[in-house]
Chains A and B, each alone.
Chain A
Amino acid sequence: MRKLIAYRLVLAVPQLAAVSLLVFSLTYLVPGSPAAAILGASATPERIKEVEAQLGLDRPALERLGDWFWNLLGGDLGISYALSLPVTDLLMERMPATLSLTFGGMVVSLVIGIGLGVLAGVRSGLPDRIVGAATSVGLAIPEFWFGLVLSLLFAIELGWVPVVAYTPVTEDPSAWLRGLILPSLALGIGTAAMIARQTRTAMVQALASPYIDTLTAAGVPRRRIVLRYALKNTMVPVLATAGFSFRILLGSSFVVETVFAFPGVGGLLLTSVVGKDFPVIQGGVLLIACIVITLNLLIDVGYGLLDPKVRPQ
């Protein structure tokens, strides 16, 4: 197991390096100069020079690249142009909300997705068909719209579910959890449908496998076979989908958070995109990429736990 993790870690390094290089070169892709983009068409050349100096754009590319990587090692992502604050601080301040929401969405999609998928996989006929139709619709629903409708219905009209603004988990875990209910539901619906489909397919495949017959013929109760054996075999492909889902959830959370006024990374990035605050955009892209790469690492380790064949002996 340790070997596997080490191997994956080694693989992640060039990936991270490539991403950060890409992110670094982002400012060079801006037509004209980033400073001009920030200031708008009416900016004077002097002012552009001034901002370029402020952003460090006037220095040679190689020198900047060196600094960029050196600062990265220290966790320094630069200074926001618009807010004059360290990008790392800005991002870290907002990360808990984003991760909470993504986590909530993941739980929702795993619970609903695996639940429905198992149901559809085990009970052919009507349940299968209903789940099939539901997942098709689920895949087509934009999360933010679903969030709108949920809030309209449950928060504004009915007042059933407390549509609580975000509370940090460190402050009050139960409030944190309650605040997550609707946003997570909204966020998780699409990936829940995705996971449900994958689970159903895998479950059908697992249930058609000879080992199910072996266990059945040995007199093991059906429920136990499905829940213990078929399910675990099903989880191997579902894990891949779950990893894939995480990335989608992370991205979608940027949109859903605005619906529920979560103080997450999405809002910061949105402001930065409009304001062309390149340091923040670069930092955000890099941070999110790091999270995804880390998660992929965890997924690979999860494979090792689930599927013994993956483990190096």
Chain B
Amino acid sequence: MSKPLKTGTEIASTPSSAGMLRRIARRPVIVGTAAFLLVLTALAAAAPLVAPYDPLEQNYAELLLGPSADHLLGTDELGRDTLSRLLYGARVSLLVAFGSVGIAMAIGVPLGLALGYFGGWWDRLGSRAIDVSEALPGILLGFAVIAILGRGLGTLMLAIGLMFCMTFARTTRAVALAEREKVYLDAARVAGLGTPEIMFRQVLPNLAGPLIVQAAMFMGAAAVVESALSFLGLGLETGVPSWGGMLSVAADEQGRQPFLAFPPGLAIIVTVLAFNVLSDGVNDVLAGGRRRPATRRRTHRRPPVAKDVTVKAPAETGTVLDVQGVTVELDTAGDPVPLVQDVWLSIRRAEVVGLVGESGSGKSMLARAVLNLLPPATRLASGSVLLDGRDIAGLPERELRKVRGCGISVVFQDPMTALSPVHTIGRQLCEPLRVHFGMSRSAARERAAELLDRVGVENPKRRLDDYPHQFSGGMAQRVAIAMALAAKPRLLIADEATSALDVTTQGQVLDLLLGLRDELDMAILMITHDLGVVAESCDRAAVMYAGQIVEVGGVRELFDGPRHPYTAALLASDPSAEAEMHRLATIPGGVPLAGEWPPGCHFANRCAFARDTCVEQPVPMTGDVRCLRAKDLTLEVMIGERH
């Protein structure tokens, strides 16, 4: 019967500091429900003063009345006043709610603490015991307790308390286990605190948050169970007003006075709802308000695109992709924040273009803009994306579908998350084939096996029935590539496609990509933070910094004679570092965050060559470089030869 229970994992386990109360106070829902419950408790406590009638007073002249001025909620089958009984009934409900949760905590928390703290065999045995106890529906446990001890308020509390105590034990155990690992416990032990002291002083405060959340929720659940048991006649004696007992009468008299079912029923619902909302609210606060994931993909509608840039014809024939003046903005409460600003980039047939930059430079956002896969709350504010001369930005879903896969394809960084873990790779690989070529199941399978074979997966036919987790990282990335290639795209975007792989595998995958480029006559946009990759595989490269492309050029020219100070700095840092670069060793500072970009040159604050003019106004792309001083400077790569 303990129905609306969340599993322990859903509950935030990070209690926070003194600010919690303040954060709670800021939430009208929590304040409102807490106030409601307080008022309810006060009304229940003051029932003898507030209730208009004695709840037991029978009045045979006024049986089964509907609501009236004398009896605001009518009367029952013995002429007793429903409102008065409702108020007295609240006493039972609340008393049982508080009492049973109190008992549940008194049993469950110490048990959980002990299991979590001692660990080992204690824990294993205890956890098994908890499992066993969970083989029973709560109400059955209630039945057993009532059968043993007989009816009564105490029994009711104990019965419901026993239903819930194991969940408290489970939660407590989880928190205690986590805390046990923490250093400060060791420190406390060293400091000479006894074991019980450690458990209660150190672990308990960390438990407070989750326990409050769970307690509030269970109080609601307890009110429901109490009403169910009273409804069945297993609660208090007949006649003692309780909400469940009133519903039992309502059921008997339904044919004569249907209204009877509503006051107690709604009272239960509202009370339980209040407990649940309170629990959810406190949990939200504890989780820092992050319960609802902010990253929700907007489903259908594309954000509107402001076409304030005149679309130009592709500069030359043979251009596959032409990005023209693309600006991506993040919608916020205030002004929109640009994430990518006025990017122009074109890629020719079978050309491999690198897009390099530090994390946060906006290169992946640009790729997503090209793919029409912008995350929620971001939108293409202006610009066009021309694929083979056709603007695909803002195309309706149906049209986009035709472009995706066979026009543009993508390979993401982590192949393990880029493939659905619960579907065979054969099934996923067949999708683009069936969608774009309308292949039959068997034909698609055939072709999928060929594709796998082509990307270097051994035993392709058999492996079609494997799941992603059965592949190594490199192999899985090959599968992802095969999937991206399935519909023979004109352009492949490799978004950090090799970053997660070890060096040897990385080389193999790069070779594979280049081989495929030749074979399929396919252009590749290679997004990477790794200059080594660019040097190894690209024809041209574009360097991005803080949302802007700062320099474009042939790889050789770029590496040999960078014209933007940032390019030079990038080349000077250790480019083949495994991890993403977070700061450039050679220059102070870091990439400014989106929204904090200066109006002038974005790099100016870190640039050794900056002048006053650099910061005054936006710097346009001049030729292939975005630097006012490009012509004055001769930059050298200070750290020697590149491999």
User: Within 8 Å of chain B (Cβ to Cβ): is A88?
Assistant: no
Residues 260-301 of A contacting B (Cβ, < 8 Å): 269-270, 272-274, 276, 278, 281, 284-285, 288-289, 292-293, 296
Using Cβ atoms and an 8 Å threshold, which residues of chain A touch B387?
Answer: none
**Contact present for B146 and A273 (CB under 8 Å):** yes
Using Cβ atoms and an 8 Å threshold, which residues of chain A touch B408?
Answer: 217
**Contact present for A219 and B410 (CB under 8 Å):** no
**A215-B431, A218-B484 given; A193·B4 CB < 8 A:** yes
| Other-chain residue from B3, B7, B132, B233 in contact with A191 (beta carbon distance below 8 A) | B3
- In Å, the complex CA distance between A182 and B470 comes to 46
**A145-B261, A251-B140, A255-B228 given; A214·B418 CB < 8 A:** yes
User: Within 8 Å of chain A (Cβ to Cβ): is B201?
Assistant: no
Residues 133-147 of A contacting B (Cβ, < 8 Å): 136-137, 139-145
| Other-chain residue from A213, A215, A281 in contact with B147 (beta carbon distance below 8 A) | A281
**Contact present for A137 and B232 (CB under 8 Å):** no
Residues 222-265 of B contacting A (Cβ, < 8 Å): 224, 227-228, 231-234, 247, 250-251, 254-255, 258, 261, 265
**Contact present for A308 and B137 (CB under 8 Å):** no
**A213-B418, A218-B484, A222-B397 given; A122·B299 CB < 8 A:** yes
Describe A's contact surface by its main secondary structure: helix
- In Å, the complex CA distance between A124 and B436 comes to 29
- In Å, the complex CA distance between A224 and B432 comes to 12
Number of A-B contacts (CB under 8 A): 261
**Contact present for A308 and B469 (CB under 8 Å):** yes
Stretch of A22-30, A47-55, A167-175 at the chain-chain interface? A22-30
User: Within 8 Å of chain B (Cβ to Cβ): is A259?
Assistant: yes
User: Within 8 Å of chain A (Cβ to Cβ): is B428?
Assistant: yes
Q: Which B residue's beta carbon lies closest to that of A208? A: B295
Describe B's contact surface by its main secondary structure: helix
Measured CB to CB, the closest approach of chain A to B570, in angstroms, equals 27
**Contact present for B298 and A232 (CB under 8 Å):** no
**Contact present for A142 and B268 (CB under 8 Å):** yes
**A210-B412, A273-B146 given; A229·B423 CB < 8 A:** yes
Interface digits, B275-303 against A, CB 8 Å rule (1 contact, 0 not)? 01100100000000000010111111000
| Other-chain residue from B128, B148, B296 in contact with A124 (beta carbon distance below 8 A) | B296
Measured CB to CB, the closest approach of chain A to B9, in angstroms, equals 10
**Contact present for B484 and A142 (CB under 8 Å):** no
User: Within 8 Å of chain A (Cβ to Cβ): is B55?
Assistant: no
Measured CB to CB, the closest approach of chain A to B462, in angstroms, equals 14
Stretch of A63-71, A158-166, A240-248 at the chain-chain interface? A240-248
Stretch of B399-407, B536-544, B552-560 at the chain-chain interface? B399-407
**A136-B276, A222-B299, A240-B7 given; A273·B234 CB < 8 A:** yes
User: Within 8 Å of chain A (Cβ to Cβ): is B579?
Assistant: no
Q: Which A residue's beta carbon lies closest to that of B297? A: A207
User: Within 8 Å of chain A (Cβ to Cβ): is B420?
Assistant: yes
- In Å, the complex CA distance between A274 and B484 comes to 68
Measured CB to CB, the closest approach of chain A to B369, in angstroms, equals 13
Q: Which B residue's beta carbon lies closest to that of A251? A: B137
User: Within 8 Å of chain A (Cβ to Cβ): is B136?
Assistant: yes
**Contact present for B371 and A217 (CB under 8 Å):** yes
Residues 204-259 of A contacting B (Cβ, < 8 Å): 204-205, 207-222, 224, 228-229, 232-233, 236, 240-241, 244, 247-248, 250-252, 254-255, 258-259
Using Cβ atoms and an 8 Å threshold, which residues of chain B touch A240?
Answer: 7
Using Cβ atoms and an 8 Å threshold, which residues of chain B touch A137?
Answer: 269, 273
User: Within 8 Å of chain B (Cβ to Cβ): is A148?
Assistant: yes
**Contact present for A142 and B140 (CB under 8 Å):** no
User: Within 8 Å of chain B (Cβ to Cβ): is A18?
Assistant: yes
Interface residues in A, total, Cβ within 8 A? 88
**Contact present for A124 and B422 (CB under 8 Å):** no
Best-buried of B129, B134, B408 by chain A (most CB within 10 Å): B134
Measured CB to CB, the closest approach of chain A to B345, in angstroms, equals 19
Using Cβ atoms and an 8 Å threshold, which residues of chain B touch A136?
Answer: 273, 276-277, 280
**Contact present for B3 and A139 (CB under 8 Å):** yes
User: Within 8 Å of chain A (Cβ to Cβ): is B550?
Assistant: no
Interface residues in B, total, Cβ within 8 A? 91
User: Within 8 Å of chain A (Cβ to Cβ): is B61?
Assistant: no
**Contact present for B3 and A194 (CB under 8 Å):** yes
- In Å, the complex CA distance between A220 and B220 comes to 45
Using Cβ atoms and an 8 Å threshold, which residues of chain B touch A274?
Answer: 233-234
**Contact present for A152 and B371 (CB under 8 Å):** no
User: Within 8 Å of chain B (Cβ to Cβ): is A14?
Assistant: yes
User: Within 8 Å of chain B (Cβ to Cβ): is A93?
Assistant: no
User: Within 8 Å of chain B (Cβ to Cβ): is A4?
Assistant: no
- In Å, the complex CA distance between A251 and B2 comes to 9
Using Cβ atoms and an 8 Å threshold, which residues of chain B touch A124?
Answer: 296, 298-299, 376
User: Within 8 Å of chain A (Cβ to Cβ): is B144?
Assistant: yes
- In Å, the complex CA distance between A244 and B400 comes to 42
User: Within 8 Å of chain B (Cβ to Cβ): is A306?
Assistant: yes
**Contact present for B420 and A211 (CB under 8 Å):** yes
Q: Which B residue's beta carbon lies closest to that of A240? A: B7
Using Cβ atoms and an 8 Å threshold, which residues of chain A touch B1?
Answer: 248, 251-252, 255
**Contact present for A149 and B261 (CB under 8 Å):** yes
**A288-B136, A308-B422 given; A217·B409 CB < 8 A:** yes
Using Cβ atoms and an 8 Å threshold, which residues of chain B touch A142?
Answer: 224, 227-228, 231, 247, 265, 268-269, 272
Measured CB to CB, the closest approach of chain B to A220, in angstroms, equals 5
**Contact present for A213 and B373 (CB under 8 Å):** yes
User: Within 8 Å of chain A (Cβ to Cβ): is B186?
Assistant: no
Using Cβ atoms and an 8 Å threshold, which residues of chain B touch A233?
Answer: 420-422
Using Cβ atoms and an 8 Å threshold, which residues of chain B touch A148?
Answer: 247, 250-251, 254, 261, 265
Measured CB to CB, the closest approach of chain B to A141, in angstroms, equals 6
Using Cβ atoms and an 8 Å threshold, which residues of chain A touch B435?
Answer: 218-221
- In Å, the complex CA distance between A240 and B576 comes to 45
User: Within 8 Å of chain A (Cβ to Cβ): is B417?
Assistant: yes
**Contact present for B143 and A255 (CB under 8 Å):** no
- In Å, the complex CA distance between A145 and B245 comes to 12
Q: Which A residue's beta carbon lies closest to that of B271? A: A140
Give 10 CB contacts A-B under 8 Å: A15-B135, A136-B280, A142-B224, A218-B487, A221-B401, A252-B1, A273-B234, A285-B144, A292-B135, A308-B421
Residues on B facing A (Cβ under 8 Å): 1-5, 7, 128-129, 131-132, 134-140, 143-144, 146-150, 220, 224, 227-228, 231-234, 247, 250-251, 254-255, 258, 261, 265, 268-270, 272-273, 276-277, 280, 293, 295-300, 371, 373, 376, 397, 400-406, 408-410, 412, 414, 417-423, 428, 431-432, 435-436, 467, 469-470, 480, 483-484, 486-487
Closest 9 CB pairs between A and B?
A251-B137, A219-B405, A139-B4, A140-B272, A219-B404, A308-B467, A251-B139, A140-B273, A218-B432
